[in-house]
Structures are given as C-alpha cells and as structure tokens.
Structure 1
C-alpha cells in the first residue's frame, strides 16, 4: 500500500509512519521541516505543490490527515483566544485537511478503493461541552463536518472517509497525564483504517472501534 501521512514527524503521526514503514508499506510523510519528510506547511496553499510533486502519478491507497494544532489550551475567555490564533488553528486543522484531500484526489482515485482518515477528536462532538478550548473544539467540529460531507461526495468515486478520535494520548499535545501510550493509540487507529470501507464511510469512531456521537 502507498500511504500518505501529514504531520508525520512527531506524536501519533510519527508512530504511524514508523509502523507502516516497518510493515513494508510505501509511506510518504509530510512535515514543516525534517530530512525524512516531504516539506509541507498545510496552512500555505503553495506548499502543496511539494506534496503533488513528491507523489506524482502514484496511486495513494490511504491518506491520513493528521497534522494539527492545539494552541488555545489554558486561554481565558476574558482576555484570550486572539484572532491570529483562530486563523492559524482553523487553517491547520480544517483548511489543511481540505487542501490535502484536494491535492491527492486524483491519486486516491487511481488506487481504486482509496481511503481518507481524518484525525479529529471527541472534543468535536456536540455531546461534550465542558467549556474552554474554544478554537480547538470549533476546529475539530468543523473537520468532522468536513469529513462527513466528503464521505457523501466521494462515495460515488469509491473513496471511503473515516473520522477518528485518537484517544487522550501521551504526546506533546496530550501531555504526560494522558491515558494512552502513542503505541496503543497508533495500533488502534491502524485497525480502524483497515476496517474502513464504503459501507462504513462517514463514520466517527474512537481509536478502539467504538462509534462516537456526533
């Protein structure tokens, strides 16, 4: 399989990159910097030319949209959440996913059964509203909505789309107090990606296979 992973240089993305590579798959990883990855800033539309050139005319069996930011942890309602932070996080967590799909759509079609996996969060769900982290929650809800609509439009092309909550993971984003190791989360997600099919397209699932309320 040829797998493309955005944000492959750290956290869950890096673990997925390592595991798929070790399993013998062809893996194209992207990062804003790093020798082993295609240089890609998902907030810069021109940067996607690097990805298009790297993949060229090769089929892509699985696109994992993993690149994301969580900058508003601890911001206060009275004085926090500046407009610049809103712009940066929405550009990364939502627009970057759309541009990744748009760039690689021809390659996903070539695969004849290509899949798109979007890493969202349980914080996208309207059933979880404890307050705070307004930008992150809004961006993950938006990318959940994006994934659901993509699943409708791409179903006729034979491309399945899944949206996933990776769990609370011990990464730079999740912190040391998180519940899951990155190894456990990555393996669970890989199982979900393998199970994704046209019959389950549009699903919103947890890393361990539980359906998550929208």
Structure 2
C-alpha cells in the first residue's frame, strides 16, 4: 500500500509515518522543510506541482491530510484574531487540504478503493462551542464540510473519504497536559483508516472509533 501524509515530519504526522513504514507500507511524507520528505508548504499553491511531479504515475492508496496549524490559541476577542491570522489558518487548514486532494486525484484514481483521511478536530463540531479559538474552530469546521462534500463527489470514483478527530494529543499543538500520547492517537487513527470504506465514507469519527456529532 502506498500512503501519502502531509505534515509528516513531526507530531501525529511523524508517528503515522513511522508506523506505516514499520508495517512495510510504501510511505511518502511531506514537510515544509525537512530532510527525507517531499518539500511542500500547503499555503503555497505553486509548490503542489512538486508534489504532483514526485508522485507522477504512482498509485496512491491512502492520502492523509494531516498538515494543520492552531495559530489563535489564547487570542483576545477585544484585540486579537488579526485578519492575516485568519488568512494563514484557512490557507493551511482548508485550502491546503483541497489543493492536496486536487493535486493527487489522478494518483488516487489509479488504485481500486482509494481512501482520503482528513484530520479535523472535535472543535469543528457545533456541539462543542464553548467560545474562543474562533479561527481554529472555524477552519476545522470548514474542512469537515469540505470532507463531507468530497465524499459525495468522489463516490463515483470509488474513493472513500473520512474526517477524524485525533484526540487531545500531547504535541506542540495540544500541550503536555493533553489526554493521550502521539502513539495512542496514531494507533487509533490507523485502525480507523483501515476500516474506512464506501459504507462509511463521509464519516466524522474520533481516534478511538466513536461517531462524532457534526
């Protein structure tokens, strides 16, 4: 199986990368700047040509859209959330996912039953709206919506799409007081990706297999 993972040089992405390599899969990872990974800053549309060239003619069985940012942690409603922070966050968390899928769509069509896994967050759900983190919440809700629509449009191409909450994970983004380790998140997510198929396409699920309310 050939797996492509964006943002694969650290955090959840790196753990996923290592685990797929350990089980013998062919793995392509991307990173803005890191040795051994395909160079890709998902906020720079012209760089997607590099990704497409690197995968030219190669089937992709599983695309994991993992690259993401949480820039507005701790921002003040009265004085924070500057417009450029909105633009940068959506460029990574939403537009970057769209362009990744668009760039690799020919590769996904080269294999039967290809899959796309999009890392969103429980903070995307309208059921979890305690205030704050407006940009991150809005961007993750947008990519949840994007994934749901991909599932509809790609059904006819035999490509399944799942959207996932990875848990509150002990990473630079989640902090060391978070609930679960990177390895726990990665193990759970891989199990979810393995079970993804046409019958569950469009799902929004947690790392441990629970259906999450939209």
Give the shorter-chain TM-score range: over 0.9
Inter-partner Cα distance in structure 1 for 2:155 and 2:174: 33
Q: Normalization by structure 2: what TM-score?
A: 1.00
Inter-partner Cα distance in structure 2 for 1:181 and 1:35: 25
Inter-partner Cα distance in structure 1 for 2:200 and 2:56: 29
Inter-partner Cα distance in structure 2 for 1:206 and 1:145: 16
5+ residue gaps in structure 1? none
Cα deviation 1:49-94 (Å, max 9, x = unaligned)? 1111111110000000000000100000000000000000000000
How many residue pairs match? The answer is 214
Matched, 1:106 2:106: yes
Cα deviation 1:85-115 (Å, max 9, x = unaligned)? 0000000000000000000001001011110
Q: Normalization by structure 1: what TM-score?
A: 1.00
Alignment of 1:3-82 (within 5 A): 3-82=3-82
* 3-state secondary structure, aligned to 2:109: helix
Inter-partner Cα distance in structure 2 for 1:23 and 1:164: 22
Cα deviation 1:171-197 (Å, max 9, x = unaligned)? 000000000000000000000000000
Inter-partner Cα distance in structure 1 for 2:16 and 2:111: 20
Q: What's the offset of the Cα at 1:35?
A: 1.0
Q: What's the offset of the Cα at 1:160?
A: 0.1
5+ residue gaps in structure 2? none
Inter-partner Cα distance in structure 1 for 2:107 and 2:65: 15
Inter-partner Cα distance in structure 2 for 1:111 and 1:209: 26
What is residue 164 of structure 2 aligned with on the other side? Answer: 164
What is residue 208 of structure 2 aligned with on the other side? Answer: 208
